């Protein structure tokens, strides 16, 4: 039986991934700040992540869903601490979990990693420069890592969701949400279940010749 670790697994896309994986017979472990997570850990804490994952045992599939929107204000009004926190969760968190699980995947000659980026990482959203920049960094990390692991049996890909109806967007201003939805040709937000379906395929034995790639799921907003 394959074992999957899903960060941010207590809500939104992460929770939908866990539900889908379990339905497919995959043993799934959640890593989240929430007290009910299997591993109640701050993903940005390198030492805590390393210790928790080592104790959890072998991980075959890693899905990095944990993330924060960060400040929703023009760049010149952002506090440095808020910028750093956004990168700590969205980028260093992804680095921390990858760093912890990859040696075991290489040893077993099989692994799947899916990193959650965003259309903001491709296009940039106004008043979301910290989030946009951090998600662009996740894309760069994914492309580099995919090449590093290409001959080791470990496949690494990223997805770029558009606006998805999740708790992560609950604090996003109505004006900003309307702006983002107005750019979606399908004219609606996506669902976490739709995203989980793509993640499941990228985590499966059927995904064998795509690595270091970026898969769009944005209702047609970005087609590159």
Report residue 151: phi and psi, to 5°.
-110, 20
Does 224 participate in catalysis according to the annotation? Answer: no
Residue 188: CA count within 13 A, CB half-sphere? 4
Task: For residue 213, give the nearest of 139, 138, 110 by alpha carbon.
Answer: 139
Rounded Cα distance between 202 and 206, Å, is: 8
Per annotation, catalytic residue among 131, 179, 200, 224: 131
| DSSP string of the chain, one letter each residue | --EEEEETTTSHHHHHHHHHHHHTT-EEEEEESSTTSSEE--TT-HHHHHHHHHHH---SEEEE--------S-GGG--HHHHHHHHIIIIIHHHHHHHHHHHHHHHHT-EEEEEE--HHHHH--TT-HHHHHHHHHHHHHHHHHHHHTTTTTEEEEEEEE-SB-SGGGTTS-HHHHHHHHHT-TT-S-B-HHHHHHHHHHHTSTT--S--SEEEEESTTS---
> Which residues are catalytic, by number?
131
């Amino acid at each position: 039986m394959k074992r999957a670790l899903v960060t941010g697994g207590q809500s939104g896309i992460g929770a939908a991934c866990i539900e889908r994986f379990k339905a497919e017979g995959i043993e799934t472990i959640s890593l989240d700040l929430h007290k009910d997570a299997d591993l109640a850990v701050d993903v940005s804490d390198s030492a805590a992540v390393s210790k928790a994952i080592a104790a959890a045992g072998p991980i075959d599939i890693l899905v990095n869903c944990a993330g924060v929107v960060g400040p929703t204000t023009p760049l010149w009004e952002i506090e440095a601490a808020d910028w750093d926190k956004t990168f700590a969760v969205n980028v260093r968190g992804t680095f921390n979990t990858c760093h912890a699980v990859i040696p075991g995947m290489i040893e077993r000659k099989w692994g799947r990693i899916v990193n959650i980026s965003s259309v903001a990482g491709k296009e940039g959203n106004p008043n979301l420069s910290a989030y946009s920049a951090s998600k662009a960094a996740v894309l760069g990390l994914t492309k580099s890592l995919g090449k590093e692991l290409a001959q080791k049996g470990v496949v690494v890909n990223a997805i770029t969701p558009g606006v998805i109806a999740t708790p992560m967007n609950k604090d996003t201003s109505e004006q900003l949400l309307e702006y983002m939805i107005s750019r979606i040709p399908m004219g609606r937000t996506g669902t976490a279940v739709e995203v989980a379906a793509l993640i499941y395929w990228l985590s499966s034995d059927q995904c064998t010749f795509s690595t270091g790639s970026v898969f769009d799921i944005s209702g047609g907003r970005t087609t590159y």
